[in-house]
Amino acid sequence: MCAVDGGGKDAAPEGMVKRKMEKIMTSTIIETAKALSFKTDLEFYNISSERAMKTIMAVVGGSSEEHRPDEFLVVWEVFDAAGRNWRIARYSSGYNQDNFIGVKTPFLRWDDLELLQEVVYALCRAGAKVDEFDCQHVHVGIADFDAQQIANIMWIVYRNEELLLSATGTLDQVSELDIMRTDPEFMARLDTLKPLTLESLNIAWFGEPYAYPDPIYCNEIGYHDISIHYVWRDQTVEFNFFFGSTDPSEIKSNIQLCLAIAARARTVTNAEAKKRSSCGVGCTKAAMESFLLDVGLVGPEFEETRSYLLKRLPGPSNHKFRDSDFAQERNHQEDRTSSESARPEGWLVKAARYIEETARAWFD
């Protein structure tokens, strides 16, 4: 066996093993992300709640109902062909008066992203617009997460907070969106919780046990860029650092980012607690690409997602897994497979198979 870079006979498979492990981890994260549920809140103006209701129903089918809980609020509910509830609320006492609406989707899955894009496109054609005060909120279902995995979501966002806010364009506008940054004091309390349970997590967040077990409306505690306020109501973690958009692909990309973060949190034992240094030269395309690699958003499938999350950041691209690299490696693997299919397996092939099977057992 030839030595590589002076590394001896074991150096040759070492790089291959590392790449193999990275691919397995990436695959595991995305498989986990695609199994998660989510719902999203979208804000628009220049469209009435009734027109929005008819537009959504034209896409998803089903029936509708109107509710008027008080003199200021008009709510339309669309029950789609699958029985899921799409909720459209008009806040007549709020910004833009009768033209300001909020659309709350039901719990959806990865395969429903295309349907959601069709809904957003239809609303846009019907006149819906957004401005600098409109937001997108993403709720990721965490019913099957334990307390540590929920805490991991908080740590991942907190550690990369300025990078994420820079990538989404909300770093300097968080206060204008009535959203607060993650509270360092809460994160310090979270870091000391031993053992970490849902009850201790609740006390750390609210200050007393199950203070708000069913918060119909958020109080000031809930309005953070990453919030666990609804863990005890509908078993979701809420991501609040996105501007509103009428671009269906951008809305999809934001959701995929949140699902990938949650999936990453579920596949690690403990997320790193150390916060990145403040942004400046550090919030670059290369830094964000490194983060996207860590949460599995690599390869041709997520090219569009990456383009939205990188477009606001300075600096050149320096991604270690560019799409061309994936294509070249895939072609190389196909050529190697066809040329080696007739040969008996060597020890290196057997070792790689063993490593892959062992790693999958660990991550599963």
Closest CA to 225 of 288, 158, 167, 159: 158
pLDDT tens-place string over residues 275-323: 665 555 568 999 999 999 999 999 999 999 999 999 999 998 875 545 5
Q: What's the confidence (pLDDT) of residue 173?
A: 73
b/e sequence 301-324, b meaning 16+ C-beta within 10 Å:
ebeebbebbbeebeeeeebebbee
- The topology under which CATH files domain 46-129 is Double Stranded RNA Binding Domain (3.30.160)
Average pLDDT score over the chain: 81
Contact in structure between 99 and 217 (CB atoms under 8 Å): no
pLDDT in tens, 49-67: 999 999 999 999 999 999 8
Percent residues over pLDDT 70 in the chain? 70
Q: Kindly state the average pLDDT of the residues 338-349.
A: 50
Cross-strand pairs, 87:
77, 104
Asked whether residue 213 carries a pLDDT value surpassing 60, the answer given is no
In angstroms, rounded to a whole number, what is the distance separating the alpha carbons of residues 189 and 20? 37
Give backbone dihedrals phi and psi of 150, rounded to 5 degrees, phi first.
-65, -45
CA pair distance 201, 207, nearest whole angstrom: 10
Q: What is the rounded CA–CA span in Å between residue 25 and residue 17? A: 12
Lowest mean pLDDT among 76-85, 151-160, 234-243, 322-331: 322-331
Residues 6+ apart with CB under 8 A from 166: 279, 283, 312, 313
Ranges of each domain in the chain? 46-129
Phi-psi region of 28 (alpha: psi -120 to 50; beta: other; left: phi over 0): alpha
Say what the pLDDT of residue 342 is.
46
Say what the pLDDT of residue 267 is.
Answer: 92
Q: What is the pLDDT of residues 14-51, one digit of tens each?
A: 555 556 556 777 889 999 999 999 999 999 999 999 99
